[in-house]
Chain A
Amino acid sequence: MNRVPINLNVNGKATRSDVEPRQLLVHFLRDTLGLTGTHVGCDTSQCGACTVHVDGEAVKSCTLFAVQADGASVTTIEGLAHEGRLHALQEGFWEMHGLQCGFCTPGMIMSAADLLAHEPDPSEEQIRHALEGNFCRCTGYHNIVRAVRHAAEANARGASSEPVVAADD
C-alpha cells in the first residue's frame, strides 16, 4: 500500500507521519496519535462527534482524509484548555450540566467554539442553528444551549475558568 508523508501541527505539537491516503483524519488522531477524545458516532458525516478544528475552523474529521490536512494546524478537545485552564465552553458545559454520557461532548464543544468565534453573543436560536450538525441523544439540547450561553457570558465578563483537573490517564 502506498503511504504519503504529512506534516501536521496538532494541539501545538508538530507531527510528521506517513499515512495511507485512505486514513481519515479522525483515525489518524485516534489511532496514530492516541487522541481518543475525538469520537466517531456515524458513518454518514452527520452526528458531529468527530468535530475538530482545522486551521481554526470546525470540521468533521471523519469526512477528511488525513492527507488533506497536510500542513494544517489541528486542535482537538484535548488541546482546547489553555495554559492549564479550562476553555469557557468546557466550563460552561460542566457548570450547566451540558453533558450526560459525554460521547458527543467533545464534538459539541468544538462546534460551539466555532460559533462563538463568529458570534460571541449568540441567541438561543443561533445556538440551535449552529449546533444542527451535532447530535446529542442524552440532554435534549436544553442544557447545551445554556452551556453555550454561559460561556458567551463568561467571555463577555472576561471571567477566568477553573484549572483543568481531569486525571491525565
Chain B
Amino acid sequence: MSDKYFGKPVKRVEDPRFITGTGHYTEDMTLPGMAHAAMLRSPYASARIVSIDATRALAQPGVLAVLTGKDLLDAKIGSIPTGWLLPDLKTPPHYAIAPEVARHVGDVIAAVIAEDRATAEDAVALLDVELEPMDAVALGSDALAPAAPQVHPEAPGNVAFEWEIGDAAAVEENFARAYRTVKLTLRNHRLVPNAIEPRASMAQYQKASDEFTLWTTSQNPHIHRLLLAAFVLGIPEHKLRVISPDVGGGFGSKIFQYPEEVIVLHAARKLNRPVKWSARRSESFVSDAQGRDHETVAELAVDEHHKVLGLRVKTVANLGAYLTTFAPAVPTYLYGTLLNGTYRFPAVHAHVTGVFTNTVGVDAYRGAGRPEATYVVERMMSRMAHELGIDPAEFRRLNFIQPDEFPYQTPVALVYDSGNYEPALDQALERVGYAELRREQEEARARGRYIGIGFSSYLEACGLAPSKLVGQLGAQAGQWESAVVRVMPTGKVEVLTGSHSHGQGHETAFAQIIADDLQIPMEDVSIIHGDTGRMPYGWGTYGSRSAAVGGSAMKMATAKILDKARRIAAHLLEAAPEDVVHEDGKFFVRGVPANSKSFFDVALMAHLAHNIPDDMEPGLEAQHFYDPKNFVYPFGTHVAVVEVDADTGRVKLLKYVAVDDCGPMINPLIAEGQVHGGIAQGVGQALLENTVYDEQGQLVTGSFMEYAVPRADDLVQFDIGHTVTPSPHNPLGVKGIGEAGTIASTAATANAVIDALAPFGIAHLDMPYTPERVWRAIQAARAQTQQAADD
C-alpha cells in the first residue's frame, strides 16, 4: 500500500466532462423512435376522480396513448411498496396513477404519451377530467383531530404508526428529581429537496427478448430494479436493467421509486417504443418526496450540577399522502436513536406518531431523521444553558461523553464506536474567536445591533449499516455493499461498485483507495457505477454510506487481488509468497529489488496463465460483499454567527465555522465540499426554505418564486476544520461526511438567531426565521416589556 493518493486533495477525475458540458444526464438521452410522456396531476389535495374523457386528447395528431389508473390496474400493475416496515404499520396502496381518489396536489391522474414533448403537454390540457374535490388536511396535528378528513380508509384516524424508544419510566424518575427542567414545542418545518436536476426517466422495451431497460435519476439502481420488477410490474428481475447515468444531485430525493418510472416502463411495453419523461420544476415541487415536517414537544432535565438527567420527546411526523420507499424509517430509527446526541443522557424516551395527510410524501432528505433529532437535542441544550444562565459551549462540554467511555451504549439503542468531542468544540471556539466575539456581541447590543452565536455539537449515525440489525428494525433491504475489482491483462483496472455517485466524486475518491493499494497510477483505475447490467448487486448511496461501506468493500476486494498477485509474482520469482514484498509498484523477494515483477507483468501472466501455480484459477478479478459491524458516528461542533435587523426582522449569516470529525479523509477537497453544501442546506432550512400548504392542501410555495433556495449572496465563505478519530471497525477507519453539514447547521443557525434575540427576552422561536416572523416576535416581546414596565 502506498499513500500517494489517500488523504490528498486530488482534483476530481469526473470534472472534465462536467465543465465542458459533456456529462450525460438522463434527460440528455435520446433513442430512435422515442416518444414522450407528460402527466396530468391533481390540482386538488383530495378529490374523487369521477371521469376521464381522453377523446379530444387522442384526436390530436401525434398523441399515441392516454393512460389512467384503471388502465394500470387492468394491466395488473401493482402498488408501489414501502421498503421499511414497522409493527402495525398501515400500508395503504400507492398506485402510480390514482385510480379513484387523488390524495395530494400533484398526484398523477393520467399520463399522455405523444410523439414529442410539446404535443404531450398540449394533449394533457385537452383531457376532460371531472374531479369532485373533497376536504383535505395538510398539517400532521390537524390530521389527528377527531373530525379530520380521512386520507386512507386503511388508516383510521390518519395514523400510520405509533412508535417509541427508550425507557419512559426511567425518564419519569429522573425528571422527578430534576433541579431544573425546560420544555419547548418545536416545529421542524417541511423542506423540498430541489436537486437542480429534475427527475427524469426513459424506458425501452425489447419485444424479442421481453427485456426492459430503464434510464432513471436514481441514487440506487438496484433498489429501483427490485421494487419495480418484483413488486410493481411483476416482471422477472433479470429482465429489467436499470441505468442511472450522471445524476444532478439527489439529497435523498432520488432514492425512492416513483410513479413516473412505472408509467414509462408500462408505456414502452404497450407502445413498443422508447418513452421518456422529465419533470418540470413545478412538477418536482409536487412530486419529489419532501423532507422533515415534525411537530415536537421536548423536555430536558438537569441536576444541580448542570448534568443532564433526561430527555423526553413526543413527535408527530407528517408522512404525506403515501408511504414512500423509506418513509417509515426516517422519523423512527433514524430519529429516535439519535436523541442522545454527543452527551451522557442517562435516560431518553421518544414517542412518534406517523400521520397521513393530503400532501406530498415525506421521506429521507439530506440527514434523514438525524437533522430533526439534532435540532431537538441541540436546541434543548442551548435552551437549558440559557435557563441556567451558563455558557452554551461550556454546558455542552460539561455533558459530553468522555473519550475513555467508548464504545458507548446510549439509552436509545445505539453503541457509539468512537469519539472525542471536546477537541472539536475547542477548535471551533478557537476558529470563531469566541471570547472576542462575545465581547463584540455585547458592544453591538449596546449600539442596537443584535448579533447571535449558535452552537451545534452534533453526532450522527451513518454508513448504513449492519444488515442483520437493520433487518431487525424493519428494513426490507440489506445494507451491505459490493465491489468487483477487475484487473485486465494490461494491468488496467475497473472497479464495479454498488455505490452511486451523484456529485460525491466517487470516481476520484474510490480510485485513490484502489490505486494506493495496488500501487498503480490513478489513471489506470476506472470506477464504474450506476448500471444493474454491469455492477454486482448493491444498495446504492444514501445515509453517508459510500465511503464507509462501499469503500470498505472495495478495499477488501483489492486485498484479494493483491493476495493473488503476490502468489503469481512469487511463482514467477520462484519464491515463497510470504517472502515477496510489494513496494513502489513492484513485487520482489525481500532484499532483492533488482529482480522484480511489475503489476503489469503479474496481470498479464494471470490472464495468459502460461505460468501460474497449478492449483490457481486464471484471471485477476475479485469480488467482496462488505457488511459493516456497526454504524459509524461522525461528530463535530458547528458555530453560526448571525445578525438580526430589529427594524425589519431580516437575519443575515455573518460567519460560519464547522469542525467535523469523519475519521481520516480520503480526499479533503471532496470531504470539505460535502460539508460546504451540507451547511448551505441546513442554513437554508433555518433562514430561507419553507414549504407552506394552505388549509385546502394547496402548496403555496410551489416554485422558486416562493420557495427560497439559498443563493450565492445569502451565504458566506465557511471556515472548515477537522479532528480525526478513526472508526475502529472498518478497514479504512472512515466515517460519513455527506450529511454532517446539514445535520449540524440547522440547529447551529437556529441557536444563533435565538441568541441574537435574547436581549428582547425571546426564549424560543420556530424556524424558518423569515423576516416577518422575527419582526413580529420582537414586536410582541417589546410590547410585553412595555406592559411589564407599565404595570
- A44 x B22 contact (CB < 8 A): no
A103 close to B25 (CB less than 8 A): yes
A135-167 interface with B by 8 A CB criterion: 135-145, 164-167
CB distance from A99 to the nearest CB of B (A): 6
Question: Which residues of chain A are near B118, meaning CB under 8 Å?
Answer: 20, 22
What is the interface of chain A mostly: helix, strand, loop, or mixed?
Answer: loop
Our pick among B18, B504, B715 for the contact of A105 (Cβ within 8 Å) is B18
**Are B15 and A99 closer than 8 Å at their CB atoms?**
yes
Contact assessment for B712 and A49 in the assembled complex, using a CB-CB cutoff below 8 Å? no
Contact segment of B339-347, B456-464, B669-677: B669-677
Whether A44 pairs with B281 at a CB distance below 8 angstroms is: yes
As a 0/1 sequence over residues 69 to 95 of chain A, the CB contacts with chain B under 8 angstroms (1 = contact) are: 000000011101100001000100111
Report yes or no: B281 in contact with A42, Cβ–Cβ below 8 A.
yes
Q: Which residues of chain B from 212 to 263 have a CB within 8 Å of any chain A CB?
A: 246-249, 251
Q: Out of A44, A140, A164, which one reaches B715, CB within 8 Å?
A: A140
Q: How far is the CB of B371 from chain A (nearest CB, A)?
A: 16
- Shortest CB–CB separation between residue A115 and chain B, in angstroms? 11
Residue of A nearest to B246 (CB): A102
Q: Are A101 and B503 in contact (CB under 8 A)?
A: yes
> How many Å lie between the Cα of A142 and that of B393 in the bound state?
26
Contact of B16 among A20, A97, A164 (CB under 8 A): A164
Q: Report B-chain residues with C-beta under 8 Å of the C-beta of A129.
A: 712-713
A-B contact count (CB 8 A): 193
7 additional A-B residue pairs with CB within 8 Å, beyond A41-B248, A102-B17, A128-B715:
A30-B28, A46-B704, A102-B248, A102-B503, A134-B712, A136-B712, A141-B711
Closest to B673 in A: A97
Return the contact of B19 from the options A35, A38, A105, A167 (Cβ within 8 A): A105
What is the minimal beta-carbon distance from A96 to any residue of chain B, in angstroms?
9
Whether A124 sits at the interface, judged by CB under 8 Å, is yes
Whether A128 pairs with B713 at a CB distance below 8 angstroms is yes
User: How many B residues have CB within 8 A of the partner chain?
Assistant: 59
Say whether, besides A39-B25, A47-B704, A128-B713, A164 and B20 are in contact (CB < 8 Å).
yes
On whether the beta carbons of B196 and A135 are closer than 8 Å, the reply is yes
B20 near A97 with CB under 8 A, answer no
- Interface residues contributed by chain A, number (CB under 8 Å): 61
Most chain A beta carbons < 10 A, residue from B19, B21, B197: B19
Complex Cα–Cα for A71 and B15 (A): 33
- 8 Å CB interface, B328-376 against A: none
Binding site for A on B (CB under 8 A): 9, 11-12, 14-25, 27-28, 30, 118, 194-198, 246-249, 251, 280-282, 502-505, 669-670, 672-674, 676-681, 703-705, 709-713, 715, 717-718, 741
Residues in A with CB closer than 8 Å to B680 are 137, 139-141
In angstroms, Cα B740 to Cα A140, docked, is 14
**A81 in contact with B677 given A128-B712, A132-B712 (CB within 8 Å):** no
Q: Which residue of B has the minimal Cβ distance to A76?
A: B21
14 contacts between A and B (CB under 8 A): A30-B28, A36-B21, A36-B27, A38-B21, A40-B27, A41-B198, A43-B280, A94-B19, A100-B673, A101-B247, A102-B17, A109-B19, A135-B709, A139-B680
Q: Is the CB of A94 within 8 A of B12?
A: yes
Q: Which B-chain residue is minimally distant from A99 (CB atoms)?
A: B18
| Contact of A41 (CB < 8 Å), options: B21, B24, B281 | B281
**Given A37-B23, A41-B281, A142 contacting B16 (CB threshold 8 A):** no
